């Protein structure tokens, strides 16, 4: 059976070369699954229109800023916010699938640790932040969503100061229709990845990659190189020639059944942790250590992990083709297990779809 795509909808999806047991809960394998453009009918859309209410379009997402919810198009930050002029933020992204957050507590922990490490403080408590994230999704009505929490350094309270302590830190959050970091179409055939030849990952002792950040100069340069050469995305090496990560994902390879991933130089992805836990549950040996690029080329399979779609199969890195140019069998075991955990409600916290105040 071949892959059948219909616009934004994926039906009859078939990852050739993969372990097709037919019993998978994966949204990318389920013939009856809903739209994969990240949206299903929202609460807002299901509500009967009220002629007295002004028409507000929440379908593109909702934000919380300065104490109130607003359509995403109304959410703005000032040009003097250090988050904008110095990429000085702490942020995190959690996803909602089928009306439930996945590992919300882990994302909130990482976000707040990032804030603390960057000397940021805001008035909202952890519980209030969680409530606001629920509120953004509820307000948007989205059942599948990309949900961001952001703290910017903010604007100076002392004009002209060069002291970051003079900034008023600012928290905001927003929910968007689900974003696939590697699209279902690319994942289905196996993503094509370029190892950047021009750009190395910013050294960890300059910008700490374990704090999720907006320092994307290296990724953006690498993305131009990859896209212009016809690849889906880019993977960056460190200055010792070891594999690190890419824009929005961690990287893995599989050799002789062992699941191998770098130990340093990257964000400690929540999805990466999920992959390591799933591998243990599936009895797949794991190695967390430096991964020289040569070893990567010689691996049997390669895949990525991200909140934006989970386990994303890779069929090509530079000129090297894996698994006859299709997603690998072991990768697909992990891929399917990821969605099985969602279907079972593991780590899931249902969104409170009441109308936020």
Ligand X SMILES: Cc1ncc(COP(=O)(O)O)c(C=O)c1O
| Nearest distance in Å: CB 314, ligand X | 15
Position 93 contacts ligand X (CB under 6 A): yes
Size of the site for ligand X (CB under 6 A): 14
| Contact range with ligand X by CB under 6 A, out of 43-51, 70-78, 136-144, 246-254 | 246-254
Nearer to ligand X, 42 or 242 (CB): 242
Position 336 contacts ligand X (CB under 6 A): no
| Nearest distance in Å: CB 60, ligand X | 21
Nearer to ligand X, 70 or 193 (CB): 193
How many whole angstroms separate alpha carbon 284 and alpha carbon 248? 25
How many whole angstroms separate alpha carbon 254 and alpha carbon 275? 12
Applying CB under 6 A, among 24, 242, 306, 330 the residue interacting with ligand X is 306
Position 250 contacts ligand X (CB under 6 A): yes
| Contact range with ligand X by CB under 6 A, out of 17-25, 111-119, 303-311, 337-345 | 303-311
Q: Are 308 and 180 in contact (CB under 8 A)?
A: yes
Contacting residues for 65 by C-beta, under 8 A, at least 6 apart: 75, 172
Nearer to ligand X, 139 or 306 (CB): 306
Please state, in angstroms and as integers, the Cα–Cα distance from residue 223 to each residue in 143, 158, 175, 209, 217, following that order.
Answer: 30, 38, 25, 18, 10
Position 248 contacts ligand X (CB under 6 A): yes
Nearer to ligand X, 24 or 250 (CB): 250
Nearer to ligand X, 42 or 342 (CB): 342
Applying CB under 6 A, among 305, 316, 323, 330 the residue interacting with ligand X is 305
| Nearest distance in Å: CB 323, ligand X | 23
Give Cα 233 distance to the centre of its chain: 14
- Our CA dihedral for 291, 295, 300, 306, rounded to 10 degrees, sits at 30
| Nearest distance in Å: CB 123, ligand X | 26
* Among the listed residues 222, 225, 224, 228, the one whose alpha carbon sits nearest the alpha carbon of residue 245: 222
- Our CA dihedral for 47, 48, 53, 55, rounded to 10 degrees, sits at 70
* Among the listed residues 168, 139, 44, 34, the one whose alpha carbon sits nearest the alpha carbon of residue 97: 34
Position 199 contacts ligand X (CB under 6 A): no
Nearer to ligand X, 181 or 326 (CB): 181
| Contact range with ligand X by CB under 6 A, out of 74-82, 200-208, 265-273, 277-285 | 265-273
Question: How many C-alpha atoms does 186 have within 13 Å on its Cβ side?
Answer: 18
Q: Are 35 and 174 in contact (CB under 8 A)?
A: no
Q: What angle do CA 129, 133, 137 make, to 5 degrees?
A: 165
Position 272 contacts ligand X (CB under 6 A): yes
| Nearest distance in Å: CB 250, ligand X | 5
Site for ligand X in 131-150 (CB under 6 A): none
Position 262 contacts ligand X (CB under 6 A): no
| Contact range with ligand X by CB under 6 A, out of 34-42, 153-161, 242-250, 295-303 | 242-250
Q: Kindly give the interhelix angle for 126-140 and 104-117, rounded to the nearest 10 degrees.
A: 130
Position 267 contacts ligand X (CB under 6 A): yes
* Among the listed residues 17, 7, 1, 340, the one whose alpha carbon sits nearest the alpha carbon of residue 187: 17
How many whole angstroms separate alpha carbon 60 and alpha carbon 39? 10
Position 61 contacts ligand X (CB under 6 A): no
Nearer to ligand X, 38 or 269 (CB): 269
| Contact range with ligand X by CB under 6 A, out of 117-125, 261-269, 283-291, 349-357 | 261-269
Position 270 contacts ligand X (CB under 6 A): yes
3-state secondary structure of 204: coil
Which residues are near ligand X by CB under 6 A? 93, 245, 248-250, 266-267, 269-272, 305-307
């Amino acid at each position: 059976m071949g892959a059948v795509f219909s616009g934004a909808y994926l039906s009859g999806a078939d990852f050739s070369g993969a372990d097709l047991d037919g019993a998978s809960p994966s949204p990318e394998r389920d013939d009856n699954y809903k739209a994969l453009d990240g949206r299903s009918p929202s609460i807002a859309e299901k509500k009967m229109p009220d002629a007295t209410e002004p028409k507000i379009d929440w379908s593109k997402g909702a934000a919380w800023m300065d104490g109130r919810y607003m359509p995403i198009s109304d959410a703005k930050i000032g040009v003097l916010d250090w988050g904008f002029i110095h990429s000085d933020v702490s942020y995190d992204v959690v996803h909602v699938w089928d009306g439930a957050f996945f590992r919300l507590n882990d994302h909130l922990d990482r976000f707040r640790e990032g804030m603390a490490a960057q000397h940021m403080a805001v008035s909202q408590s952890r519980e209030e932040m969680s409530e606001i994230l629920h509120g953004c999704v509820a307000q948007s009505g989205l059942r599948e969503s990309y949900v961001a929490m952001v703290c910017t350094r903010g604007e100076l309270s002392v004009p002209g100061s060069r002291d970051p302590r003079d900034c008023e830190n600012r928290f905001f959050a927003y929910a968007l229709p689900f974003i696939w970091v590697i699209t279902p179409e690319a994942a289905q055939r196996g993503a094509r990845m370029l190892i950047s030849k021009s750009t190395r990952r910013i050294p960890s002792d300059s910008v700490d990659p374990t704090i999720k950040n907006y320092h994307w100069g290296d990724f953006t340069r690498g993305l131009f190189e990859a896209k212009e050469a016809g690849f889906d995305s880019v993977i960056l090496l460190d200055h010792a020639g070891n594999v690190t990560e890419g824009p929005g994902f961690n990287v893995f390879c599989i050799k002789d059944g062992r699941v191998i991933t770098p130990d340093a130089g990257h964000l400690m992805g929540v999805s990466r942790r999920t992959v390591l836990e799933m591998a243990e549950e599936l009895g797949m040996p794991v190695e967390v250590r430096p991964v020289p690029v040569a070893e990567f080329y010689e691996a049997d399979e390669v895949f990525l992990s991200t909140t934006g779609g989970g386990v994303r199969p890779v069929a090509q890195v530079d000129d090297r083709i894996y698994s006859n140019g299709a997603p690998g069998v072991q990768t697909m075991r992990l891929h399917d297990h990821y969605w099985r955990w969602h279907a079972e409600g593991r780590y899931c916290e249902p969104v409170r779809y009441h109308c936020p105040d």
